[in-house]
């Protein structure tokens, strides 16, 4: 664990100023305004620190280091911390596809089934209705912001294997041309043969090879294993009957600046505000590992450590794409960054919270549309939370353009996009707990 450090001067400036705005009432204090230059500086600090840990795959060096850093941040706010341990799949090694003179780097599909050391050499063919057979199946997905193998993609791969394929390569057609890592279950391998992901921008030589039935080599001969991971959990016990839960995933396939970093920045700034505000509840925090394995860490927390639904006043969840940058699409492979947020983020709220959420999030792209907190509409950990019976909940999930791509780095975020989301959540919390 990193040594405990005092709150930074910038963090004090952000929330200390807000504290002077607290107008006490018998129920709860008013929400401060978490905006301005100091708030942007704090958001930048968090985004850069989180990105600096590198790839965040569950139980890997970046995930472990970011968890230790987060413990230092939360300890400085006065939280009693506990690591909740579990284990997750992992793979160490390269993955490549070669056709003649062309070689592309692939993303191994978890849970990884490696090839033999020399690789798998066989004819390649396009998979799909009326097509199939022995060899390596090339599965070209329709255009979307892909994030999981479960469901549609799983069916395509299973059909290719049922038709006799010995391995499958998935082309994740999407807005960036990048290969997109796909989430998978934490407790089992969906397939018994090698599967990997190919970037659309690298697919042309292999599409040509598939059209002719040429022989290619898939090599993914690294080590597949399981390794320990942990959730970071924290409690600030105020002796109240119920708790405010604030949660966010911590892990992800790569650097995850937009996917995870924006949520981490909102999480830390909102938690700092909640720790200082006069809220009539205990605070319970969770930053999960195991997210990319179909929310394995979040489900582990719900089952074993989370306050029960009847002891929870409100659950706030900060999922993917909380405040990632939007982009202009100017043609194939030509994206221009915008100062605004990607609107492909969804806000769900319980019925009693909907009116307040609409007012608080008005004008924030994507979030101005508030959807009912229905498990059938929710994605990510928010779906697990709602299915577990937490009746008072609000949360965000979504997929920005570089969601699950290696290129999801600091270009995909802007510190200015963070404070408005923090401020909106603070207002919803204040109103909800004031009515509780």
Overall residue count recorded for the chain in this entry = 436
Q: Are residues 235 and 216 in the same domain?
A: no
Q: Token pair of 86, please?
A: 């579990």
pLDDT value at residue 104: 98
pLDDT value at residue 84: 98
User: What confidence tens digit (pLDDT) does each residue in 70-119 have?
Assistant: 999 999 999 999 999 999 999 999 999 999 999 999 999 999 999 999 99
Which residues, including other chains, have CB under 8 Å from residue 73's CB and lie 6 or more apart? Answer: 268
Given a cut of 90, whether residue 129 has pLDDT beyond it is no
Q: Are residues 275 and 339 in the same domain?
A: yes
**In the block, residue with structure tokens 């010995």:** 166
Helices (H) and strands (E) in the chain, counts: 10, 18
Q: Are residues 307 and 372 in the same domain?
A: yes
Q: Which of 192, 221, 250 is a domain's end point?
A: 221
CATH number where 274 lies? 3.40.630.10
CB 24 within 8 A of CB 32: no
Task: Kindly indicate the confidence band of residue 27, based on its pLDDT and cuts at 50, 70 and 90.
Answer: very low
Predicted TM-score (pTM) of the model is 0.92
pLDDT value at residue 33: 55
Is there a domain that residue 3 lies in? no
CATH number where 134 lies? 3.50.30.30
Q: Are residues 266 and 406 in the same domain?
A: yes
Q: Are residues 42 and 60 in the same domain?
A: yes
pLDDT value at residue 404: 98
Is there a domain that residue 371 lies in? yes
pLDDT value at residue 326: 97
Q: Are residues 343 and 422 in the same domain?
A: yes
Is there a domain that residue 2 lies in? no
Q: Are residues 207 and 231 in the same domain?
A: no
pLDDT value at residue 4: 31
CA gap 245, 263 in Å, rounded: 15
Helix, strand or coil for residue 434? helix
Q: Are residues 263 and 179 in the same domain?
A: no
**In the block, residue with structure tokens 């700034």:** 269
Of the listed ranges 83-97, 306-320, 327-341, 349-363, the least confidently predicted one is 327-341
Given a cut of 90, whether residue 23 has pLDDT beyond it is no
Which residues constitute the domain of residue 110? 94-221
Task: Concatenate the DSSP letters of all residues of 267-293 into one string.
Answer: HHHHHHHHHHS--SSEEEEEEES-TTT
pLDDT value at residue 19: 35
Given a cut of 50, whether residue 333 has pLDDT beyond it is yes
CB 427 within 8 A of CB 357: no
Is there a domain that residue 1 lies in? no
Domain count, the chain: 2
**Greater model confidence, 419 or 34:** 419
CA gap 11, 66 in Å, rounded: 19
Which residues, including other chains, have CB under 8 Å from residue 257's CB and lie 6 or more apart? Answer: 47, 50, 51, 324, 408, 409, 410, 411, 412, 413
Q: Which helix (H) or strand (E) holds 18?
A: helix 9-19
Which residues, including other chains, have CB under 8 Å from residue 417's CB and lie 6 or more apart? Answer: 262, 323, 324, 325, 340, 341
User: What confidence tens digit (pLDDT) does each residue in 409-429 have?
Assistant: 999 999 999 999 999 999 999
Which residues, including other chains, have CB under 8 Å from residue 394's CB and lie 6 or more apart? Answer: 314, 315, 316, 317, 347, 348, 349, 350, 353, 357, 373, 425, 428
Given a cut of 80, whether residue 332 has pLDDT beyond it is no
Mean per-residue pLDDT, 330-350: 92
Mean per-residue pLDDT, 307-327: 97
Q: What angle do CA 89, 92, 98 make, to 5 degrees?
A: 115
User: What confidence tens digit (pLDDT) does each residue in 158-173 have?
Assistant: 999 999 999 999 999 9
Is there a domain that residue 170 lies in? yes
Given a cut of 50, whether residue 30 has pLDDT beyond it is no
Is there a domain that residue 100 lies in? yes
Which residues, including other chains, have CB under 8 Å from residue 371's CB and lie 6 or more apart? Answer: 346, 347, 348, 349, 377
pLDDT value at residue 128: 87
Q: Are strands 325-329 and 215-219 parallel, antiparallel or unpaired?
A: unpaired
Average pLDDT, the chain: 92
Mean per-residue pLDDT, 431-435: 88
149 to each of 184, 267, 274, 288, 381, how far by Cα in Å?
A: 6, 28, 37, 20, 16
Task: Kindly indicate the confidence band of residue 39, based on its pLDDT and cuts at 50, 70 and 90.
Answer: very high
Which residues, including other chains, have CB under 8 Å from residue 293's CB and lie 6 or more apart? Answer: 58, 88, 89, 110, 183, 184, 185, 186
Q: Which of 221, 252, 276 is a domain's end point?
A: 221
Residue whose C-alpha is closest to residue 351's, from 395, 398, 393, 307: 393
pLDDT value at residue 248: 98
Which residues, including other chains, have CB under 8 Å from residue 372's CB and lie 6 or more apart? Answer: 348, 349, 350, 351, 354
Sign of torsion, CA 46 49 52 58? Answer: negative
Task: Kindly indicate the confidence band of residue 8, based on its pLDDT and cuts at 50, 70 and 90.
Answer: very low
In terms of C-beta density within 10 A (0-12 exposed, 13-18 middle, 19 or more buried), how is residue 159 classed? Answer: middle
Residue whose C-alpha is closest to residue 114's, from 196, 184, 217: 196
Q: Are residues 403 and 337 in the same domain?
A: yes
Is there a domain that residue 341 lies in? yes
Q: Which of 155, 188, 221 is a domain's end point?
A: 221
Q: Are residues 282 and 429 in the same domain?
A: yes
Q: Are residues 329 and 214 in the same domain?
A: no
Kindly state the percentage of the chain with pLDDT values over 90.
88
pLDDT value at residue 1: 33
99 to each of 34, 131, 133, 136, how far by Cα in Å?
A: 54, 20, 19, 12
Given a cut of 90, whether residue 34 has pLDDT beyond it is no
Is there a domain that residue 4 lies in? no
User: What confidence tens digit (pLDDT) does each residue in 248-265 have?
Assistant: 999 999 999 999 999 999
Mean per-residue pLDDT, 365-387: 95
Mean per-residue pLDDT, 390-411: 97
Q: Are residues 125 and 42 in the same domain?
A: no
pLDDT value at residue 435: 67
């Amino acid at each position: 664990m990193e040594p405990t450090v005092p709150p930074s001067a910038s963090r004090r400036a952000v929330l200390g100023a807000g504290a002077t705005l607290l107008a006490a009432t018998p129920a709860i204090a008013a929400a401060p305004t978490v905006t301005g230059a100091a708030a942007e500086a704090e958001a930048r600090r968090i985004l850069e620190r989180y990105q600096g840990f590198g790839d965040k795959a569950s139980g890997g060096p970046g995930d472990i280091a970011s968890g230790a850093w987060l413990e230092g941040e939360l300890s400085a706010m006065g939280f009693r911390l506990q690591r909740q341990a579990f284990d997750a799949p992992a793979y160490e090694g390269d993955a490549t596809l070669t056709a003649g003179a062309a070689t592309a780097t692939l993303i191994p599909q978890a849970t990884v089934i490696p090839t033999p050391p020399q690789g798998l050499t066989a004819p390649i063919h396009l998979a799909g209705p009326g097509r199939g057979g022995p060899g390596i199946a090339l599965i070209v997905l329709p255009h979307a912001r892909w994030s999981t193998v479960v469901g549609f993609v799983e069916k395509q791969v299973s059909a290719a294997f049922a038709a006799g394929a010995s391995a499958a390569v998935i082309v994740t057609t999407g807005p960036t041309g990048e290969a997109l890592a796909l989430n998978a279950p934490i407790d089992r391998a969906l397939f018994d043969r090698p599967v990997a992901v190919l970037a659309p921008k690298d697919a042309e030589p292999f599409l040509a090879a598939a059209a002719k039935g040429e022989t290619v080599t898939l090599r993914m001969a690294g080590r597949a294993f399981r390794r320990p991971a942990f959730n970071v959990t924290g409690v600030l016990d105020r002796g109240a009957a119920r708790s405010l839960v604030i949660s966010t995933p911590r892990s992800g396939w790569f650097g995850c600046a937009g996917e995870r970093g924006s949520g981490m920045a909102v999480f830390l700034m909102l938690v700092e505000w909640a720790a200082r505000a006069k809220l009539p509840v205990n605070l319970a925090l969770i930053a999960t590992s195991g997210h990319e394995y179909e929310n394995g860490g979040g489900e582990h927390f719900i089952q074993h450590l989370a306050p029960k639904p009847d002891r929870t006043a409100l659950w706030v969840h900060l999922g993917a794409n909380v405040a990632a940058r939007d982009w202009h699409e100017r043609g194939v492979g030509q994206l221009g960054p915008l100062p605004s947020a990607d609107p492909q983020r969804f806000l769900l709220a319980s019925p009693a919270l909907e009116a307040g959420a609409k007012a608080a999030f008005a004008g924030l792209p994507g979030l101005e549309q508030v959807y009912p907190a229905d498990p059938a509409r929710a994605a990510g950990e928010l779906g697990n939370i709602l299915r577990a019976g937490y009746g008072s909940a609000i949360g965000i999930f979504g997929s920005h353009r570089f969601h699950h791509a290696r290129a999801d780095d600091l270009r995909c975020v802007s510190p200015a996009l963070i404070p408005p989301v923090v401020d909106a959540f603070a207002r919803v919390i204040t109103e909800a707990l004031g009515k509780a």
